[in-house]
Structures are given as structure tokens and as C-alpha cells.
């Protein structure tokens, strides 16, 4: 491979593409994050006092640095006429505009797709919403709202105890689907020369996630039970409490794996019993089989079982907490974490590790392209790129249209 070919191979695929995002919280910023890591110049438009996720506590502490790395920041007051004019000029310079505000919000400022596409028909516009257009579209949606109404909380918790999944799954995946839609629109624009609007929504994303359970009912006539009470598709597929109270997930999802499972654990008396012959036989026998397995494995240590299962190629998993993943040897060896400098709060200026997009291109992980921006860090440079002179920028700043 010659030097030019090697250089081209390691260029990120969206280099040269400009994305302007009017986003907040998780869903919209995730869309921009994906496009930024793929090489796009992503300019985040923040309110004049900054994105409020910069200062969230508790479960929201990591929102801003995770979902906004690799972006530029410009602070614009959309409540001022001068600020709106700046925002419109910026949006019209973009290949992609992304937003995740309530329906009608962008229309007020002339920043909606219909308004912008009249002057830039090549524009791709990604709206990340709570609901796609329909009876629910004006409801206020949160990840937890759609998990409750979309069946995911019911499936996650025990019967009578609906439980939100342990991550912002719909916000994150909704942003990802918005980015996927944008990529498709980019390809189509290369064919037709025209942009289009892409819409992604939390509720519809959640319905997609529970589609497997909906089809289970459509095909079998039996409603899906919540995951803690479900009829497993596999005979051995569960968390076991073992020596010293440790826990480990163990599985055998095929007949050959079942035989190996019995061999490595010294369960020869169970291996060839006819009532356990096939996976479906073992599923039907779970009320009898699982108590036997739990009793026999209770004296084995989790580390011993992990070693045996890894050597035999059987599925297993230690039960980990998120903070323990920083010490995971696989993540450390494969470059799955990247260092970023925090921008806000008491730890501003300190270095922390963050997760990367979970795929490789040309054999390489897509590292963090740039640090999370401080609020308004790139305002002057972005405005200069739009043709504003130093005096114009000073006037905008003095009138608090930008910061």
C-alpha cells in the first residue's frame, strides 16, 4: 500500500462534513457524538449560559463529557434577534443540522427544516424527538416515560415491579438511529443532490427494542413474562451464587455445549439422561434441573468456574459494576477507553477516561478526536468562519447575542 492510500485509509469517513447541533441532554448529543467520532466537524450551539448538563449531579454527572467530546462550542442567545440571525447563518452553512427540542420550538426561530431547506435544499436535518408524528407527538417524553409505556420497564422488572433499565438506552439508541438516518441521507444526497429530514424518536426506538417480545406473543399466543420470570429459550442460562456468596453467569445454549458443560464440571450423571437430551428438553425440565445445578455449583469459586469455562469455550461472565470496567484487561489492551479533560465542576481540568464507539474501521478504534469543549470555546473562530469581522463579533458579544 502506497503512502497516499495508507493516509486515505486512516481518514475518518465524514471528514469535511459540517454538522450544527441544537441539542441538549442525551439523545441529540449522542447523534452528534457519533458523527463527530466518524470525522465530521460538529458545532454544538449552547444557550448563552451553557448546556445545563454541564452541571448535573448524580446519574447525570457524566452526560456532558461523554456525549459532547469531539465537538466545537458556540454560545448563542436564541431569544435575541441578532442571536437568531447568527444561528440561521450557521445552520445554513451546515451539511447536517440536528436538534432535539419539543415540536414547534425550532419553527419559532426559523430554524426548522422547512425554513432552512428553502435556502439550502442540500441540507440534511435530523430531528430527535419523543414520538414520531401522531397522537403522542406533543407529549413530553423522557427515557423513563417511554420505557414505562413501551413495555421495556415491564420486561426488566419483576412482576408488579416495573423497572427502568440501568442505562439511558432509548436516549442513546435514539441518537444512534438519528445518526444512521443521517448517514443514509448523506448517501442519497450524493445521488439526488437533495437533502431531507430524518426523524428519530424515543418511543419508536423502545418499541423496536421490545419487538422480539411482541412477536413472541404474535407467534405463540403467549404473552412474554418479565425477564426475571421468563421461560428461558435456553436450558442453562442464568446467574449462579457460588462459594463465598460470589455470583457468576453461566450458560450452555446448544446440545454440544451442554455435554461440554457436564464434562468440565464433572456432571457425567446428568450428561446423557434422556430428560435432558435436547435444549428444549432442558428448558421444560428447568424447574428440576436448575436446583440440582445450583446445589452442585455452590461450593465452586467464581474464579475456578471462569477458568474452566474459558478453557472449554463456554459462555460465562463475572458480575461487574461499571466502575470495575476501568480495570478490565480487555478494554485496556484494545484501546477501548480514551483520556479526556473534564471541563466543568469541581474536577474541571482533571483527566478521566471515557468509552469509545464500539467498532473498528480499517482495524483501528475511532479515538476521541478532541476534548469536550468549554462553553463558547469556539464562538470567535466559528463566527470568523462565517464572515463576521472582529468588530462585528465584539458588537454581538457586547449585546449578549453570543458568548
Digitized pLDDT (tens) for each residue of the chain, 403 residues in all: 555 544 556 789 999 999 999 999 999 999 999 999 999 999 999 999 999 999 999 999 999 999 999 999 999 999 999 999 999 999 999 999 999 999 999 999 999 999 999 999 999 999 999 999 999 999 999 999 999 999 999 999 999 999 999 999 999 999 999 999 999 999 999 999 999 999 999 999 999 999 999 999 999 999 999 999 888 889 999 999 999 999 999 999 999 999 999 999 999 999 999 999 999 999 999 999 999 999 999 999 999 999 999 999 999 999 999 999 999 999 999 999 999 999 999 999 999 999 999 999 999 999 988 899 999 999 999 999 999 999 999 999 999 999 9
Strands 197-201 and 124-129: parallel
Q: In this structure, are residues 44 and 67 in contact, taking their beta carbons and an 8 Å threshold?
A: no
Which pLDDT score, from 0 to 100, does residue 197 have?
98
Grid coordinates representing 315?
A: 459462555
Where helices occur in 93-227 by DSSP H, the ranges are 105-108, 113-119, 143-149, 152-156, 169-192, 202-209, 211-220
Phi, psi angle pair for 319, to nearest 5°: -95, 110
Q: What is the rounded distance in angstroms from the CA atom of residue 149 to the CA atom of residue 131?
A: 12
Domain 14-210+332-398 architecture: 3-Layer(aba) Sandwich (3.40)
Catalytic-labelled residue, pool 82, 171, 238, 244: 171
Residue-wise burial string across 225-264, b where 16 or more C-beta atoms lie within 10 A, e elsewhere = ebeeeeebebbbbeebebeeeeebebbbbeeebbebbbeb
∠ CA 35-139-61, nearest 5°, is 50
Phi, psi angle pair for 119, to nearest 5°: -95, -20
Q: Give just the sign of the alpha carbon dihedral 284, 290, 296, 301.
A: positive
Q: In this structure, are residues 74 and 46 in contact, taking their beta carbons and an 8 Å threshold?
A: yes
Q: In this structure, are residues 296 and 315 in contact, taking their beta carbons and an 8 Å threshold?
A: no
Which pLDDT score, from 0 to 100, does residue 9 have?
60
Is 171 considered catalytic here?
yes
DSSP letter, residue 32:
H
Residue-wise burial string across 317-334, b where 16 or more C-beta atoms lie within 10 A, e elsewhere = eeeeeeeeeeeeeeeeee
Same CATH fold, 232-322 and 14-210+332-398? no
- In 3D space, the residue among 200, 205, 169, 175 whose CA is nearest the CA of residue 31 turns out to be 175
Q: Which helix (H) or strand (E) holds 36?
A: helix 27-37
DSSP letter, residue 243:
G
Using alpha carbons, list the distances in angstroms from residue 358 to 50, 334, 365, 369.
29, 11, 8, 15
Which pLDDT score, from 0 to 100, does residue 232 have?
86
DSSP letter, residue 318:
E
Q: In this structure, are residues 67 and 96 in contact, taking their beta carbons and an 8 Å threshold?
A: no
Which pLDDT score, from 0 to 100, does residue 310 have?
98
- In 3D space, the residue among 81, 54, 42 whose CA is nearest the CA of residue 402 turns out to be 81
Is the domain defined by 232-322 classed in CATH 1.10.620.20? no
Give the residue extent of every domain in the chain. Answer: 14-210+332-398, 232-322
DSSP string covering 354-400, please?
EE--S-EETTEE----SPPPPTTTTHHHHHHHTT--HHHHHHHHHTT
Which pLDDT score, from 0 to 100, does residue 193 have?
98
Q: What is the rounded distance in angstroms from the CA atom of residue 369 to the CA atom of residue 364?
A: 13
Which pLDDT score, from 0 to 100, does residue 233 have?
87
Amino acid at each position: 500500500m502506497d503512502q497516499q492510500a495508507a493516509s486515505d485509509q486512516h481518514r475518518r469517513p465524514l471528514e469535511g462534513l459540517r454538522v450544527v447541533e441544537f441539542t441538549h441532554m442525551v439523545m441529540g448529543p449522542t447523534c452528534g457524538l457519533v458523527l463527530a467520532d466518524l470525522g465530521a466537524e460538529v458545532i454544538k450551539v449552547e444557550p448563552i449560559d451553557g448546556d445545563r448538563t454541564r452541571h448535573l449531579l448524580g446519574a447525570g454527572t457524566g452526560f456532558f463529557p461523554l456525549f459532547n467530546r469531539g465537538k466545537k462550542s458556540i454560545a448563542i442567545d436564541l431569544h435575541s434577534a441578532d442571536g437568531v440571525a447568527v444561528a440561521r447563518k450557521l445552520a445554513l452553512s451546515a451539511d447536517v443540522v440536528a436538534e432535539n427540542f419539543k415540536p414547534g420550538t425550532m419553527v419559532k426561530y426559523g430554524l426548522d427544516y422547512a425554513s432552512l431547506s428553502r435556502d439550502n435544499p442540500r441540507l440534511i436535518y435530523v430531528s430527535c424527538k419523543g414520538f414520531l408524528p401522531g397522537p403522542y407527538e406533543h407529549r413530553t417524553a423522557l427515557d423513563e416515560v417511554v420505557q414505562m409505556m413501551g413495555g421495556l420497564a415491564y420486561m426488566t422488572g419483576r412482576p408488579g415491579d416495573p423497572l427502568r433499565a440501568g442505562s439511558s438506552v432509548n436516549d442513546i439508541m435514539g441518537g444512534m438511529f438519528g445518526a444512521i438516518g443521517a448517514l443514509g441521507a448523506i448517501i442519497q444526497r450524493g445521488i439526488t443532490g437533495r437533502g431531507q429530514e430524518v426523524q428519530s424518536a424515543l418511543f419508536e426506538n423502545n418499541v423496536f427494542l421490545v419487538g422480539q417480545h411482541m412477536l413472541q406473543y404474535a407467534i405463540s399466543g403467549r404473552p412474554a413474562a418479565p425477564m426475571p420470570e421468563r421461560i428461558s429459550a435456553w436450558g442453562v442460562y442464568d446467574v449462579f451464587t457460588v462459594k463465598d456468596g460470589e455470583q457468576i453467569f453461566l450458560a450452555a445454549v446448544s446440545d454440544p455445549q451442554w455435554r461440554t458443560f457436564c464434562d468440565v464440571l464433572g456432571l457425567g450423571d446428568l450428561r446423557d439422561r434422556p430428560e435432558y437430551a435436547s435444549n428444549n428438553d432442558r428448558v421444560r425440565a428447568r424447574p428440576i434441573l436448575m436446583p440440582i445445578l445450583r446445589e452442585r455449583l455452590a461450593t465452586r469459586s467464581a474464579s475456578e468456574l471462569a477458568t474452566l469455562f474459558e478453557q472449554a469455550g463456554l459462555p460465562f461472565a463475572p458480575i461487574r459494576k461499571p466502575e470495575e470496567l476501568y480495570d478490565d484487561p480487555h478494554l485496556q489492551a484494545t484501546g477501548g477507553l480514551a483520556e479526556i479533560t473534564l471541563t466543568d465542576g469541581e474536577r474541571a481540568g482533571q483527566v478521566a477516561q471515557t468509552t469509545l464507539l464500539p467498532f473498528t474501521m480499517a482495524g483501528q478504534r475511532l479515538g476521541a478526536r478532541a476534548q469536550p469543549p468549554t462553553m463558547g470555546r469556539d464562538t470567535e473562530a466559528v463566527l470568523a468562519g462565517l464572515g463576521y469581522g472582529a468588530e462585528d463579533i465584539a458588537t454581538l458579544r457586547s449585546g449578549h447575542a453570543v458568548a
